[in-house]
Amino acid sequence: MVEIEILVNAVTLVVVLVVFTFVSIAFYRTRIRRLLVLLLLSALLGVNMVVSIAEDLLEGTIPFIEVFTSLLSLGIALLLLITLMRQFSWEPR
């Protein structure tokens, strides 16, 4: 069962790397600052996938790996929330 999880994580990592490459090229060509958020999101997700794959392959020999992956997931979620709030310019009534 672990092999399927590693395969899914590896495919996800490849997709994240493709997205990161496309967004990097788009930012280089356009210099649109909003693309930096997408770059950061894809970088965080890529690091999270690499850590998840390493965790599966090394089978728990890395201490505090679960805490690290949880913190990465929290960072991704917070960045998405901040992006949404800035995109829609939510103002308190």
Do 55 and 69 form a contact (C-beta atoms < 8 A)? yes
Q: 30 or 60: which carries more pLDDT confidence?
A: 30
Amino acid in the structure at residue 78: L
Do 28 and 59 form a contact (C-beta atoms < 8 A)? no
pLDDT grade for 29, boundaries at 50, 70 and 90: very high
Q: Which of 17-26, 47-56, 67-76 has the highest mean pLDDT?
A: 17-26
> Using CA of residue 75, residue 33, residue 38, residue 65, what is the dihedral sign?
negative
| Tens-digit pLDDT profile for residues 35-54 | 888 888 888 888 888 888 88
Cα angle value 37/29/87 (rounded, 5°):
30
Do 14 and 50 form a contact (C-beta atoms < 8 A)? no
